[in-house]
A = this chain, B = another copy of it.
Amino acid sequence: MTKTPDSAVRSYIDQHRAAFLDDLASWLRIPSVSADPARSGEVRRSAEWLAEKLRETGFPVAEIWETGSASGDEGRGLPAVFAEWPSGEPDAPTVLVYGHHDVQPAAREDGWATEPFEPVVADGRMYGRGAADDKGQVFFHTLGVRAHLAATGRTAPAVNLKLLIEGEEESGSPHFAALVRRHADRLACDAVIVSDTGMWAEDTPTVCTGMRGLADCQIDLYGPDQDIHSGSFGGAVPNPATEAARLAAALHDADRRVAVPGFYDGVVELTERERELFAELPFDEAEWLRVARSHGTLGEAGHTTLERIWARPTAEVNGIWGGYTGPGGKTIVPSSAHLKLSFRLVAGQEVEKVREAVRDWVAERLPAGIRHEIVFPGATRPCLTPLDHPALRSLVRSMGRAFGQEVRFTREGGSGPAADLQDVLGVPVLFLGISVPSDGWHSVNEKVELDLLLKGVETSAYLWSDLAGSWTPGEDAR
């Protein structure tokens, strides 16, 4: 396996660090807030700025990709950026880096200490909206690939490098799956590297090895044709609010395991090694509860908090409503009641099987006189990279060289567009992120730690050589 000389990478980064940070600051000045229709022009400007910067970096292809109506979807989407830099070597692996260039809304009056779209460097940090989520983490790949070339003397990366940087992530990526399907040929690759997550802590570099999937549903229950008087009829006819509550309550057994028959079918259980790795992380439950703004832990018996949020499937009541909800009382049997549920899924669970299990379970539990409808608006599949996957080992090795520390493993409890890439392109998804929990994602005073940002650059610089030298795509599939 070829190693990029670490000192060459580091000295290249040192030389170009100032210009790199200046460039990132310029990008952060573009308020590419995808949720704000008044700023859709800024999202476009951000895409154009990035495409131009990627061309400057050396990518022979850097295009704006339109989303939304062009694809036949409703509404007009916000542009993504696609770039491509072929290796020139016939057997090189192809890697697609995913990130996003849109940002969350931000305004000084929300409580920012500085103007959110006027980046400020102080105390070894760059403050500004998008510094960590996600412009900073997209941008470290630009200096990374240059350092990789400088240190190896190459004129093109050791892997076929592709980037897809979307502009609607903070608005729920409504057109992303369609975009990936439409351009599946050009996005074809052997692995996806997602640079839109974080690591455990400043002093604990980690690699995320999976995200949970998601299937949500709405259940509507109908009883009497209108609200009826609980004095005249209560106690003798079924009450849809009671039945909605009975459904929601029956979701979990006394051990807080999901009680829908078949729900756990196929679940890939944690190995003892994975449980040990989770347990070795310096987890402070009190601090975690503070961040969760919660006042107690509760979940599936036999599992730790980290196992519950990272590796176990769950059922959650996101909303419940029915009957009278105004001031005072109203003695009615309500006409209808409603539930919004979501299920987090882990590797081995199939969305369609979970839906069927839920459908059957609901239908079986309702008494005569309660009509129901159930819809499953969307779903995201889970993704999980085995710990012994060669590309993952390559990533961990590169990160270890950059940080000079053992790299540990985490997972992500949420669900994201990464799964669309996995599913449409049929390749594993790896996560390379250097953000830390204090970075203020979606909050005020968002920042990125400059030394971590440069470790990201360095990881990126080592990764392409390491991957090309240690991985023959297809090997992992055997």
User: Measuring CB to CB, which residues of chain A are less than 8 angstroms from any residue of chain B?
Assistant: 212, 214, 216, 218, 223-226, 228-239, 241-242, 244-252, 289, 292-300, 305, 308-309, 312, 314, 316-325, 328-334, 337-338, 340, 342, 344, 367-371, 377-378, 412-415
Contact status B319-A237, CB under 8 Å: no
Once bound together, how far apart are the Cα atoms of A68 and B296, in whole Å? 47
Given A249-B245, A298-B367, A312-B235, A331 and B342 touching (CB < 8 A)? yes
Once bound together, how far apart are the Cα atoms of A214 and B377, in whole Å? 41
**CB < 8 Å neighbour of A235 from B295, B314, B321, B340:** B314
**CB < 8 Å neighbour of A241 from B214, B229, B319:** B319
**CB < 8 Å neighbour of A296 from B296, B298, B368:** B368
A235, A245, A297, A305, most chain B CB atoms within 10 A = A235
Q: For residue A306, which residue of chain B has the nearest CB?
A: B236
Once bound together, how far apart are the Cα atoms of A309 and B299, in whole Å? 40
Contact status B318-A324, CB under 8 Å: yes
**CB < 8 Å neighbour of A316 from B239, B300, B321:** B239
Count of identical protomers in the assembly: 2
Contact status B239-A309, CB under 8 Å: no
* A225 surroundings in chain B (CB, below 8 A): 293-294
**CB < 8 Å neighbour of A242 from B228, B232, B235, B317:** B317
Contact status B344-A236, CB under 8 Å: no
* A297 surroundings in chain B (CB, below 8 A): 236-237, 369
Q: For residue A298, which residue of chain B has the nearest CB?
A: B238
Once bound together, how far apart are the Cα atoms of A314 and B233, in whole Å? 11
Once bound together, how far apart are the Cα atoms of A296 and B225, in whole Å? 12
Contact status B377-A237, CB under 8 Å: no
Once bound together, how far apart are the Cα atoms of A232 and B314, in whole Å? 12
Contact status A242-B248, CB under 8 Å: yes
Once bound together, how far apart are the Cα atoms of A247 and B289, in whole Å? 24
Q: For residue A342, which residue of chain B has the nearest CB?
A: B331
Once bound together, how far apart are the Cα atoms of A342 and B329, in whole Å? 8
Contact status B320-A332, CB under 8 Å: no
* A323 surroundings in chain B (CB, below 8 A): 317-320, 340
Once bound together, how far apart are the Cα atoms of A69 and B322, in whole Å? 36
Once bound together, how far apart are the Cα atoms of A436 and B229, in whole Å? 17
Q: How far is the CB of A345 from chain B (nearest CB, A)?
A: 11
Given A325-B340, A340-B329, A300 and B235 touching (CB < 8 A)? yes
Once bound together, how far apart are the Cα atoms of A342 and B231, in whole Å? 10
